[in-house]
Chains A and B, each alone.
Chain A
Amino acid sequence: MDRIIATAEALWRMMRRIAEILLLLHWFNLLSVEGTRYSLPGKPTLTRCRSPEKETFTCWWEPSFDGGLSTTYALYYCKENSDTVHECPDYHTAGVNSCFFNKNNTSIWVNYNITVVATNALGSTFSDPVEIDVVYIVMPHPPENVGVTVLEDKGWPFLRLSWEPPHKVDTRSGWITLIYELRVKLEEETEWEMHLAGQQKMFNIFSLRSGGTYLVQVRCKPDHGFWSEWSSTTSIKVPDYFQRERSVWVMIMVSSAFIFLIITWLIHINSHSLKHYILPPVPGPKIKGFDKQFMKDGKSEGFFCDLVSIHFPATTTPNDEDLLVEYLEVCVPEEQELKMEDKGEDGCPKSESSTSDCDSGRGSCDSQTLLIDKCFKRVAPGLDIECSQTGTGANEIQDSPDVSSGRVKTWPSVYSPLSQHPVDLMHSLDKSKQHCLSDTLFPSDSSCPYHSHPDHSTNDNPDSTYWKFCFNNKQRLLLRPQMETQWQPHAYSEVNISATVRSSDYVEAHNISDENTVVLHSVSSSHDDREGTGYKYQGEDYSHVQRVGSDNVLMLQRGLMKEPVDTGFCKNQQANRAAGTSDTSPITRNQKPTVCNETTLSVNGPAANGYVDTATMFIKPTQD
């Protein structure tokens, strides 16, 4: 019995121990479980405190883990320089985990020391304290009533933005001063364009894209605080406008005007050449020594004086330009020369020049002379005829005339070659007596303005042209009337003209045959050639034109120095010669001893058969 009781007690103790052990184990187990699930709450943190209008403010905190147990949070604050701890008056207005301080609990310019406490069954956890001053935590609401309109400024559109401060912020009393900022962008763009608007509540945006849609947002900030959130987006569409087209037109017009100005300037610069190109200048009468003004003045005497004078021996050397310019040299008739001798420097001082070359194209101021020249030229191609001074005139010639074989200097289309002679012969005034034969010696032709024998009037051109024809003194030109009718440029081939070129010899009209042929006789310094002529030249080699008849016929003097044959040729002019004509007109009359009366011959003078010395043209008809 005792043993049974002892065993039972041992078993009972063992079981208790086991139970205790189990209990302990259970306890331990429990405890361990509590360590993962239940603990003190985590340390909360105050995230931020904000005041929208500087009159109230709200603080938010962030809870940590709760420790498995329900945790409560409490916010405590104490004001500056006060130890009184207050608890948050309002946990709900601002949402979860927030504390809202209303106006009564808000003091500006006062430091708040705020702490959040998390409490659960196991304990409490305090957060780090935060000190705030409401003045520096102001973050207003976004501006309200953002309005956008499209206005026009001189045809160009622009956006006008307007807004209002958030209704809670009191700016009217000056409690808060806000500054604004806005941003704009096109609908399809990604980047915003920021603009700071200051304290104004209105803003203009220019340089818009026509037809685009713009998005606008505004925000605000107090003096020292935080920027508000952006307001809701306001969109506006800009209507299309025509300014772009107009600007394109303006540019086109400006550029065209510019081009036009440039072209005008170019034309103005090249006006001269253009004029020459479009309207080639008409060659006018250019006679050396021809003074138009003088003509106009009506002083014919002086006019011819000038003509005959200095310019006679063309001082300019022939060159291409001269070839082109049709300068006619007026040559002085022998009468003039004679007169010159008599009078010396009297009268027309310029007449000295007339004694020069007879080759010079001294024709009338008439283009027909040119034609004659051409005719002659063609007629006698290869002929080298030059006017050579008679007799010793060659010695006087400083420059021997250009003796170029086969060149008829007399009748080039331009007179320039002729001018050479005048230059050279100018100095041989005294001795060089040039005989100028009237063109009447030649058969007249409509194209050749020379005049045939007085009897050969007919179809000569009315213009009397003085023609000088110089032949080699050896030569003799015999013109036949047939030449008249058969006048052709080459008709001159009949003329026997040797190619010898010497100083210009003059051919004098020997006589006039019955056949209305003027026999020309070369005149040279040597009088030997004149055996047959019967003419006696006494140092003066002229074919003297005694007079010009009423029919504008040139009457040549048969005898030189002799009493004129009373064949009607020439009146006795010896008296005049000897006396030196006292005529007034220096050119007039036969001043020269061997010069018979001269007759005036107008430029448009006798037709046909009127050989007229141009110099004599202006001579008044002397008494016959």
Chain B
Amino acid sequence: FLVSVCVVWLLCVSVMLCSVCTAPVCTNAQVGCHAVSLNNLFDRIIQHSAKMHRVSNDLHQQFELHVLPSRNQVGRGGHICHTSTIMTPNGKENAQRMAREGLTQVILQLLMAWTDPLMNLHHSSTNVSVDMSSMVGELRRGVQRLAEKMHTLGLLTDPDSSVVSPEALMTSHPVPWRLMNLYDILYCFRRDSNKVHNYLRILKCRIVPEHGC
């Protein structure tokens, strides 16, 4: 009895911790599968991205506070992020003008681009103890599920901008991420997580606007 209780508790904890779990996306034909609504999926993804951004923001602040106290105002510029080549909308109009598919693609591209650098960061640097790459990976998988669900629901109509293989987008980077120092990585990741979070919110309010928009 105790063992079963422990197992159940662990399952619950794991479900809670990962908002986007590796649960199969159910179609109508599948039986015994608890289908997640689109709204529910959006909520989970947005929660996850908020958490990711919070973590990255805290990391960056800690870094600026303790590692670079003398460089408060000077030296901030000059950050070159390896994701700068990804065309991301830089304003509200641009973001709203962008189609759902484009937004989804941009999100995926961003998430794809950060998996490796963060993994490398976690393994190499002792200052960063949080493994953000796993978070990014889970979020990416969640967004992929979301895209698939939207595609099945007919929300993603543009066939050209369907789910593109992520690997195709990672061909060329102006700046290989290996050349980026820790400060740059933290700075750039903080920004990109904010972008992802914002794009997801825009996407949600565009597709399922009835809750919290």
Contacts and interface: CB of A to CB of B under 8 A. Distances in A.
B213 A80 contact: no
Nearest to B192: A109
Interface stretch (B26-34, B90-98, B119-127, B146-154): B90-98
Contacts of B194: 109, 135, 224
Contacts of B93: 103
A107 interface: yes
Given A80-B79, A171-B213, A173-B202, A131 B73 contact: yes
Nearest to A131: B76
- A contact patch SS: loop
A172 B202 CA distance: 9
Contacts of B92: 54-55, 108, 170, 173, 175
A286 to B, nearest CB: 70
A26 to B, nearest CB: 45
A103 B80 contact: no
Interface in A29-49: none
A400 interface: no
A173 B91 contact: no
A125 interface: no
Contacts of A54: 92
B195 interface: yes
Contacts of A172: 205, 209, 213
A173 B74 CA distance: 36
Contact of A55 (B74, B84, B91, B191): B91
A80 B93 CA distance: 20
Contacts of B209: 172
B206 A174 contact: yes
B50 interface: yes
A154 to B, nearest CB: 30
Contacts of A187: none
A487 B19 CA distance: 117
Contacts of B91: 55, 103, 106-108
Contacts of B80: 81
Contacts of A177: 201, 212
A128 B73 contact: yes
A109 B195 contact: yes
A54 B96 CA distance: 14
A130 interface: yes
B212 A199 contact: yes
A81 B175 CA distance: 13
A198 to B, nearest CB: 10
Nearest to B202: A174
A128 B209 CA distance: 44
Contacts, number: 69
A525 B203 CA distance: 135
Interface residues of B, number: 31
- Interface-centre pick from A81, A107, A128 (highest chain B CB count, 10 A): A81
A563 interface: no
Nearest to A81: B80
Interface in B71-115: 73-74, 76-77, 79-80, 84, 88, 90-93, 95-96
A399 interface: no
B202 A109 contact: no
Nearest to A172: B213
B90 A131 contact: no
Given A103-B91, A128-B73, A175 B198 contact: yes
A96 B159 CA distance: 52
B48 interface: no
A109 B191 contact: yes
B77 A111 contact: yes
A174 B201 contact: yes
A111 B76 contact: yes
A81 B84 contact: yes
B57 interface: yes
Contact of A130 (B53, B73, B90, B195): B73
A171 B213 CA distance: 6
A224 B203 CA distance: 19
B140 interface: no
A133 interface: yes
A175 B76 contact: no
A534 interface: no
A108 B88 CA distance: 10
A175 B73 contact: no
Most A CB contacts (10 A, CB to CB) among B53, B76, B206, B209 go to B76
Given A174-B201, A175-B95, A223-B50, A109 B88 contact: yes
Contacts of A107: 90-91
Contacts of B88: 109
Interface in A122-176: 128-131, 133, 135, 170-175
Interface in B49-78: 50, 53, 57, 73-74, 76-77
A107 B201 CA distance: 19
Interface of A: 54-55, 80-81, 103, 106-111, 113, 128-131, 133, 135, 170-175, 177, 199, 223-224
21 contacts: A54-B92, A55-B91, A80-B77, A108-B91, A109-B88, A109-B90, A109-B195, A113-B77, A129-B74, A131-B76, A131-B77, A171-B213, A173-B205, A173-B206, A174-B204, A175-B92, A175-B95, A175-B96, A177-B201, A177-B212, A223-B197
Identify the 6 closest CB pairs spanning chains A and B, nearest first.
Answer: A174-B205, A174-B201, A131-B76, A107-B90, A174-B202, A175-B92
